[in-house]
Amino acid sequence: MAVLASALFGSPTAFSQQELMVDMSKTIAPIQPTMYGIFFEDINFAADGGLYAELIKNRSFEFTIPMMGWSQPNSDRHSYNNESGFAMPVKYFEGEGNLNFIRVQVKNAGGYELHNEGFRGMGIKEGNTYRFTFDAKQMEGAISAVNAFLLDEEGNTIAEVSVPVSGSEWKNYTVEIVPNKTVMKGSLKLTFDGTGELGLDMVSLFPTDTWNGRENGLRKDLVQLLNDLDPGFLRFPGGCIVEGRTLARRYQWKKTVGPVEERPSLVNRWNTEFDHRLTPDYYQSFGLGFFEYFQLSEDMGAEPLPILSCGIACQFNTGELVPMDELEPYVQDALDLIEFANGSTDTPWGKVRADMGHPEPFNMKYIGVGNEQWGPEYIERYKVFNQAISEKYPDIIIVSGSGPFPDGDYFEYGMKELKEIGAEIIDEHYYRSPEWFKENATRYDSYDRNGPKIFAGEYAAQSVAIASPDNKNNWDTALAEAAFMTGLERNAEVVQLTSYAPLMAHAEGWQWTPDMIWFNNLESYGTPNYYVQKLYSTNKGTDLISVTQDGKNLVGQDELYASATLDSKAGEVIVKVVNTSSDAQEVSLNFKGKKLKGKGKVLVLKEENLSQENSFESQKEISPVTEEIKVKGTTAMYEASPYSLNVIRIPIK
Burial grade of 309 (CB within 10 A; 0-12, 13-18, 19 or more)? buried
Alpha-carbon distances of 402 from 317, 339, 354, 411, 457, rounded to whole Å: 18, 27, 36, 5, 11
Evaluate whether 375 touches 321 at the Cβ level (below 8 Å).
no
**Alpha-carbon gap, residue 571 to 541, rounded angstroms:** 10
* Residue 609 near residue 622, CB atoms below 8 Å: no
Residues 465, 471, 476, 478, Cα dihedral to 10°: 100
CA-closest candidate to residue 176, choices 213, 214, 211, 208? 208
Report the distance separating Cα 166 and Cα 344, nearest Å: 42
Distances in whole angstroms, Cα of residue 268 to Cα of each of 282, 457, 616 = 6, 21, 27
Residue of 478, 487, 481, 472 whose CA lies nearest to 430 = 481
**Of the residues 372, 417, 428, 489, which is catalytic?**
372
Type of residue numbered 310:
C
Decide if 215 is catalytic. Answer: no
**Side-chain-side CA neighbours of residue 57 (13 Å):** 27
Query: φ and ψ at 530, to 5 degrees?
Result: -60, -45
Residue type, 546: S
Give me the sign of the Cα torsion angle 60, 66, 67, 70.
Answer: negative
Residues 44, 518: Cα–Cα separation, whole Å? 10
Cis preceding linkage at 97, omega within 30: no
Active site residues per annotation = 372
